[in-house]
């Protein structure tokens, strides 16, 4: 028998009723019996009795309140070593994930180290193929952050986000004052952009692979391939660059790319990318996208104005 338990039982047999009341603090509501720390000072025993079970015909709400009181009492207990070890492991894992995301983000545009506009466009399209890797909406973040201020306004307007600042009126000590604040949240815009593009029937959904396995693309049946060859399957396109980027040597360039069906080689859409260099570091940014759709379900010759009706 442990020494602490032996001394505790010995104390119970030697105490009188009055001494018991002074030595212990009894909490009937929570089912706790706590030894008074001043009696004796060298002991640090704290016991928890088994919670009373709900009797037949009893009130279950009283039992729930007792359990809540028990949980509140547990908050007063010092943290265990296992909890500290768990938190330390969680912090290390979180830091590793954050570091890996930063490494991936450093290899994506916008970056002054990517000098060819074709590499910028390829990185954007690759990010949209798997937009939620390594974190949710990461591909849409790449598209949004690799855009000029003008094109970001077009993307915000396409999802109904605010494109201008708002003026608010506040009252302090009976005096009125106005303050101008910007209400645009880039994270919310990226999430709204992703929700809009991934909607069924959206013509730009072809850019996004919706949880499909790349390895299974080549094993598709001939019947499904023939039925989808005219419209393309989401994310299963092949990018073709018929020409090199046209650099105007004034900080702007233009690039054409074509999306073809990966099975039938049918032309799905033609995209014209207007690019501009960023002023501070010269990184290439998207300043406009001309979209011409050649699929049966969408009218041909659709231009950049369709981006503003992306939710329609």
Per the model's pLDDT, the better-predicted residue between 94 and 17 turns out to be 94
* SS3 readout for the chain: CCHHHHHHHHHHHHCCHHHHHHHEEEECCCCEEEECCCCCCCCCCEEECCCCCCCCCCCHHHHHHHHHHHHHHHCCCCCCHHHHHHHHHHHHHHHHHHHHHHHHHHHCCCCCCCCCHHHHHHHHHHHHHCCCCCCCCHHHHHHHHCECHHHHHHHHHHCCCCCCCEEEEEEECCEEEEEEECCCCHHHHHHHHHHHHCCCCCHHHHHCCCCCCHHHCCCCCHHHHHHHCCCCCCCCEEEECCCCCEECCCCEEEEEEEEEECCCCCEEEEEEEEEEECCCCCCEEEEEEEEEECCCCCCCCCCHHHHHHCCC
**Poorest-pLDDT segment among 107-116, 228-237, 301-310:** 301-310
Q: What is the pLDDT of residue 232?
A: 52
- The verdict on pTM exceeding 0.75 is no
Q: What is the pLDDT of residues 32-55, one digit of tens each?
A: 445 444 444 444 444 444 444 444
Q: What is the pLDDT of residues 244-297, one digit of tens each?
A: 999 999 999 999 999 999 889 999 999 999 999 999 999 999 999 999 999 888
pLDDT exceeds cutoff 90 at 243 = yes
When pLDDT is averaged across residues 80-107 and rounded to a whole number, the result is: 85
Q: Say how far apart CA 287 and CA 282 lie, in whole Å.
A: 14
Q: What is the pLDDT of residue 46?
A: 44
Q: What is the pLDDT of residue 88?
A: 87
pLDDT exceeds cutoff 70 at 154 = yes
């Amino acid at each position: 028998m442990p020494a602490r338990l032996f001394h505790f039982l010995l104390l119970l047999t030697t105490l009188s009723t009055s001494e018991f009341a002074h030595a212990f603090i009894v909490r009937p509501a929570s089912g706790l019996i706590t030894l008074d720390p001043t009696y004796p000072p060298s002991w640090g025993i704290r016991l928890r009795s088994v919670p009373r079970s709900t009797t037949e015909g009893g009130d279950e709400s009283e039992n729930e309140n007792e359990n809540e009181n028990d949980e509140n009492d547990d908050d007063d207990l010092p943290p265990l070593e296992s909890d500290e070890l768990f938190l330390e492991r969680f912090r290390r894992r979180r830091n590793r994930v954050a570091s890996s995301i930063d490494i991936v983000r450093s290899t994506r545009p916008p970056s002054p180290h990517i000098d060819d506009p074709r590499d910028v466009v390829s990185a954007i399209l690759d990010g949209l193929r798997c937009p939620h890797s390594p974190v949710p909406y990461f591909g849409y973040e790449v598209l949004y952050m690799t855009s000029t201020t003008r094109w970001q306004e077009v993307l915000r307007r396409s999802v109904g986000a605010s494109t201008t600042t708002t003026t608010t009126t506040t009252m302090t000590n009976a005096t009125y004052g106005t303050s101008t604040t910007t209400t645009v949240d880039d994270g919310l815009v990226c999430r709204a952009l992703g929700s809009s593009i991934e909607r069924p029937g959206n013509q730009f959904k072809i850019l996004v692979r919706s949880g499909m396995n790349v390895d299974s693309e080549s094993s598709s049946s001939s019947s499904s391939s023939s039925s989808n060859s005219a419209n393309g399957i989401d994310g299963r396109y092949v990018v073709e660059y018929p020409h090199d980027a046209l650099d105007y040597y004034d900080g702007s360039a233009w690039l054409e790319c074509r999306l073809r069906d990966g099975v039938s080689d049918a032309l799905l859409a033609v995209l014209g990318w207007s690019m501009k260099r960023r002023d501070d570091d010269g990184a290439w940014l998207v300043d406009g996208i001309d979209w011409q759709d050649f699929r049966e379900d969408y009218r041909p010759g659709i231009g950049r104005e369709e981006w503003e009706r992306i939710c329609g």
